Structure 1
Amino acid sequence: MRLKVFDTIDSTLDLLEKNHSFYREVEDELHEYIEFLMRGKREMVVDINSRIKSKDSLREKIIRNRFYVENNSAQEILDSLSDLVGFIIECRFIEDEFNVLKVLRDKLNRFHEEDGYYYNEVNPNFFLDVASRQPQIQKNGFAIYRIDGYYLKDGMRVNVELQIKALVHSFWGEIEHKLVYKNTNYYVYDDFMKDLLASIKANLTITDRQLNIIYNQMQESSVSDTSITEGTFEKQISKAINDLFARKMNESIGFTMNIKNTSTILGHYIFLKDIRYDGGSNDRVTSLFKTFKKLNSIDLDFENEIEIEEEFLSQDIFIHILGNYLLSIINTDYDWYVFFNMLFAIEPGNNMEDFCMFLNVIKNYLVDNYWLNTSFVKLPMDQSDLLHEECSKILAESLCEIGTIHIIYDDKMVAINHAFVTFIEELEGRVISYSDFMEYRNAYYDEWMKRVYQIFQS
């Protein structure tokens, strides 16, 4: 005799098929409406994908979630699905995920008192729980922007799930789905799969940030009459810096050090800063070369102490720690002295403004605030905020412990960034509370320093 559960499944699938044209109308109407909500945001939104729950997926979900026990009819099962119709707003980069959420929160600003969801008066039949804490933590421990909602049409309520995913997260999700979700051998290789997925996710996070930098630079180049590629820009700037300051140093102290590495660092720093802060415009490039021309006609001092006009203050703990360390050795470590002497000569602001700008760029290059602030989200918000600050402290303290100018060499910063992403991913799986973290903080710091020393020994 056939099990009753399969009769329940068949009747539910039949009802899904019977209502398919109705659900298709819901999908089409909502697709058009979400496009409307995202109007003017195409610089960060790549695509909007949608689907109706498939028969195969529904069959599996009925058994896996025991819907056949909790519901008395096929209609109740369909009504209990949170993702009968699903949408994915696919954005370019990870940082755009939260920006898309902010757009939705701004647009859906009318509160529905019955269930706490929000809507926009343009379409009072579509409701989303945009106030829910995002991102959410999945069973696998990873974060996802997933928002519950529903749509009212012809007296029926259709549950809708909206996800926001960066391109790399979409790619990672497909890998996870194939390796884990559809892999019947997963539980045999549970630890292996978790480690593998964590490694893939960490590498994709780094790839996302690198692509973001390249994309921004190419966007500016595409609208400029005299586009400057990353390689060309850096080589031009680095050579100009090296030639100018080697001569100025010889004029000041009677000999010249090898400042090629310092010149390369400054060239790369200026490139990053101009893209991140000024947009890489031709006006900024022209202004930079005018600065070189001006410096060529004046004397530069490589013998007397650097003077900082103002007191150094920063609310950012990373910048506060690293900044105070660098100020403490700026006139005693000649490598750093030469670097900042060159930087302050090039940059247009006063020394303190230039110093703070430099620290901000380095911080943004080493650790992305958005990524760090969405770690430890499985913990209460107040605890996760404290952990974010402690992790920033650990990173800054480790750089101070190394101390040499090598910490801002490009290959070292890339390696530190990669190692730090992996380190935080591992901590997320081990730390159960802020107090637990603080109890073992010294051990975590020692563990991190071992990884940092390996970077600088290579």
Structure 2
Amino acid sequence: MKKQESKHLENWLSVFNDVVSSGLVVEANDFLNEYIEKFLKENPDIRVAKQNRIKTNVSFKDKLIRNNYVSSWTYDDSNHQANKETLCKNLPDFIGFRINPLFGNEEESLANSLIEFLNNQTNIVIPEAEQNPKNLQSNGHAIIKFQGHINLEKEPTIKFGFEIQIKSMVHNLWGEVEHRSIYKPNSFDFRIDENKKSVENIWQILTSVDQQLFNINKEIYRKDDLLKQLFTIYLDEMKLIPTLNSHYYYSIFFNTFLLNDIESLEKLLAQLIIEKNIESKLDYNIENLENNFAYDTLETILAKILYTNESEFIEKIFQQCFNKTEETSFKNILISSIIKNMGLDESITEDSLLYDYDEDDDDNKDSLITEDKSELLTSLEQFGFKTGRYK
């Protein structure tokens, strides 16, 4: 190293030590940690481990030389404050955080959510170029990380560079091995190429394991899904309806007559498990909503998208489970239940939908009717109906 470069190196090391000894970087680190902790508390479903560090003078010296900061940074002999600002701003990972979600599939979405959260903090700036956290490493693998700056109110001109890496547990383990054996070997190693191949093979194995564990973790069933599955198995044994397309009929039945009603589903299933039949049918009380503003439109739509035999199969399931009054048709029960589940029985009225309708404006009327049908079709599709049949 040239004499001038050696002098600059000593100067920057001195500035670095002054900044660290002032305690400012520790405060900045604590502030950033508080923000991340707040983010994690607001997102309790995110399961992570977290590590953080402030760069040491040994690591700083290594980076000064390796990244040629000694030559690229301008050192001002007469302005120590400017030198501190230069170092803190241009050292991109003065403060470093590593957040480890369980799986690789969670890395990018976690980073994007965290970036969005930090963008709303007044003393943090994440440059536009860092808003996309997906980066390509020299080893050809992607890494999820982003950089930014954080400053303190008492020293607003000093902006500390920070880097946040998002690495899954498996990615983190592999990264540590690669970092020590390939990226920062302690000495010359004639087996470096062989080691690279070995590390790469390990990466392929670990990522495969990570994906398999992620897939297994996703197979956590909700209670109502399990109850519905058991319910259909027992009814299928009774050969109540044809097996072909039975999923379609059951989906409409559950979404129309047992929506968010686990208690009733449990009562029905208990009978099926113990008695292999439903001896005590449940009462199904639904207000007749034939005069509701949406009734006629729904009746028209259902006539096109729900075939007669399909309606009969759904009615068979209903009759197996519920009592109904003889004078009420199944069609009326079906449409009234849909209206109630859509929330159209009380929260929305025809007057509220037509508040700005001019009776003389036929074009506006046609547009409004079309829009209403579109919204109803969207809701019916969510209930499991084959709305693509509607023309």
**Distance in 2 of aligned mates of 1:77 and 1:127:** 17
**Distance change (3 Å), C-alpha of 1:187 and 1:69:** farther
Provide the residue aligned with 1:18 in structure 2: 18
Structure 1: stretches of 5+ with no match in the other structure = 109-118, 217-274, 302-343, 354-458
The RMSD of aligned alpha carbons is: 3.3
Q: Which of 64, 70, 73 does residue 71 from structure 1 map onto?
A: 73
Are the counterparts in 2 of residues 13 and 59 from structure 1 also a CA contact under 8 Å?
A: yes
| 1:120-131 superposed matches below 5 A | 120=120, 123-129=121-127
Q: CA deviation at 1:37?
A: 2.9
Question: How far apart, CA to CA, are the structure 2 residues paired with 1:350 and 1:193?
Answer: 58
Report what 1:152 is aligned to: 151
Instruction: State whether residues 16 and 87 of structure 2, in contact with CA within 8 Å, keep that contact through their aligned partners in structure 1.
Output: no
Greater RCO (Cα-Cα under 8 Å, separation 6 or more)? 2
How many residues of Structure 1 are paired with residues of Structure 2 in the alignment? 238
Distance in 1 (alpha carbons) for counterparts of 2:245 and 2:226? 12
Corresponding residue for residue 208 of structure 1: 210
Q: Which residue of 1 aligns with 2:341?
A: none
CA distance in 2, matches of 1:206, 1:39: 30
**Structure 2 vs 1, CA of residues 348 and 288 (structure 1 numbering), >3 Å: closer, same or farther?**
same
Q: After superposition, where does 1:16-415 map in structure 2 within 5 Å? A: 16-20=16-20, 21-73=23-75, 75=84, 76-108=86-118, 119-120=119-120, 123-129=121-127, 132-153=131-152, 154=155, 155-184=157-186, 188-216=190-218, 275=219, 279-298=220-239, 348-349=247-248
SS at match of 2:43: coil
- The answer to whether the 8 A contact 1:84-1:160 is kept is yes
Give how far 1:19 is off.
1.6
- Tell me how far apart the structure 1 counterparts of residues 197 and 246 of structure 2 sit (CA, whole Å): 44
Find the counterpart in structure 2 of residue 420 from structure 1.
Answer: none
TM-score w.r.t. the length of structure 2 is: 0.53
In the TM superposition, what whole-angstrom CA distance separates every residue of 1:221-277 from its partner, at most 9, and x where no partner exists?
A: xxxxxxxxxxxxxxxxxxxxxxxxxxxxxxxxxxxxxxxxxxxxxxxxxxxxxx2xx
CA distance in 2, matches of 1:40, 1:289: 35
Q: Structure 1's 18 and 185: CA in aligned 2 closer, same or farther, altered over 3 A?
A: closer
CA distance in 1, matches of 2:188, 2:240: 68
Sort the Cα spacing of 1:91 and 1:42 in 2 relative to 1 into closer, same or farther, 3 A.
farther
> What SS does the aligned partner of 1:348 have?
helix
Contact 2:149-2:160 within 8 A present in 1 as well: yes
1:127, CA displacement in angstroms? 1.0
Match of 2:384 in 1: none
| Contact 1:91 1:167 (8 Å CA) reproduced | yes
Deviation at 1:3, TM superposition (A): 4.2
Distance 1:185 1:345 in 2: 68
Cα shift at 1:70: 1.6
CA contact (8 A) 2:29 2:54 kept: yes
* Paired residue type of 2:238: S
**What amino acid is aligned across from residue 126 of structure 2 in structure 1?**
L
Secondary structure of 1:204's counterpart equals helix
What fraction of aligned residue pairs are identical, expressed as a percent? 25
Instruction: Check 1:156–1:347 CA distance in 2 against 1; reply closer, same or farther (3 A cut).
Output: farther
TM-score, normalisation: structure 1? 0.46
**Deviation of the 1:191 alpha carbon:** 3.8
Task: Give the 3-state SS of the residue equivalent to 2:34 in structure 1.
Answer: helix
Judging by fraction of residues, say which structure has more helix. 1
Aligned residue in 2 for 1:266? none
Identify if the C-alpha distance between structure 1 residues 300 and 193 changes in structure 2 by more than 3 Å, giving closer, same or farther. Answer: farther
Gapped regions of structure 2 (runs ≥ 5): 76-82, 253-391
The Cα shift of 1:85 comes to: 1.1
Letter of the structure 2 residue corresponding to residue 172 of structure 1: W
The one-letter code matched in structure 2 to 1:165 is K
